[in-house]
A and B are shown apart, each in its own frame.
Chain A
């Protein structure tokens, strides 16, 4: 079945450590996105990529980095510069930029 796979489901980070969240899609979608969701809140856009080898900052990009070397993969790195990284992270994709987005099941990141 086609879909978006995020891994791991749960991730723990030590202070000062970088961690990378995986997002893979087999939908042949051009556009991919990363969102952060805090308890009781809506979704805030971290980074997005309209096409392979291109990505842009979203509304809350500070302390995060991404790469888009392959069409199907859009990993997110939460760096030590992100002072409040505990959140639920959601990856999404759409056929092209501006079309309805389909989401993965998320990764919950916690600080040890």
Chain B
């Protein structure tokens, strides 16, 4: 079935650095979503992308829907301690005639003060 390859699996950065992570697939997706999960809590939706080529920002976060519809990236500028957590990409695709949401494995972000 459809799979999303999210990379990197983990990142260790200094406070103030910019962060970049991405998701790729061999399949075409209709929407791309980026979530952040704090320990012991549910994922929170950060950005939703609906059109190929779309570039959307939410504060220091910027995400893009790849033009081929097979990838997406998320950038975080000037990282701060509260950015620590696990970031998940997710995409919706038509599978056997139904829309299905597929999740990546997550990128764990650790920030050294």
Q: Footprint of B on A, CB under 8 Å?
A: 4, 6, 40-43, 45, 90, 92, 97-98, 100-106, 108
Partner of B41 from A45, A101, A105 at Cβ < 8 Å: A105
Please judge, given known A-B contacts A42-B104, A42-B105, A43-B103, whether A100 and B48 are in contact too, CB under 8 Å: yes
Contact B105 A104 (CB under 8 A): no
Please judge, given known A-B contacts A43-B88, A90-B43, whether A101 and B105 are in contact too, CB under 8 Å: no
Contact A106 B40 (CB under 8 A): yes
- Which A residues lie within 8 Å of B6 (CB)? 42
Q: Footprint of A on B, CB under 8 Å?
A: 6, 31, 33, 35, 40-45, 48, 88, 92, 98-99, 101, 103-106
Question: Which 9 residue pairs are nearest across A and B when measured between Cβ atoms?
Answer: A103-B42, A98-B99, A42-B103, A42-B105, A43-B103, A105-B42, A100-B48, A103-B43, A105-B41
- Which B residues lie within 8 Å of A42 (CB)? 6, 88, 103-106
Partner of B33 from A4, A40, A100 at Cβ < 8 Å: A100
**Beyond known contacts A104-B42, A105-B40, A106-B41: 20 more, CB 8 A cutoff:** A4-B42, A6-B42, A40-B106, A41-B106, A42-B6, A42-B88, A42-B103, A42-B104, A43-B103, A45-B101, A90-B42, A98-B92, A98-B101, A100-B33, A101-B101, A103-B35, A103-B43, A105-B41, A106-B40, A106-B42
24 A-B pairs within 8 Å (CB atoms) are namely: A6-B42, A41-B105, A42-B6, A42-B88, A42-B103, A42-B106, A43-B43, A43-B88, A43-B103, A45-B101, A90-B42, A90-B43, A97-B98, A98-B92, A98-B101, A100-B31, A100-B45, A100-B48, A101-B101, A102-B45, A103-B44, A105-B40, A105-B42, A108-B40
A110 to chain B, nearest CB (A): 13
CA distance A6 to B41 in the complex (A): 11
Closest to A41 in B: B105
Closest to A94 in B: B101
B89 to chain A, nearest CB (A): 9
CA distance A42 to B87 in the complex (A): 10
Closest to A88 in B: B40
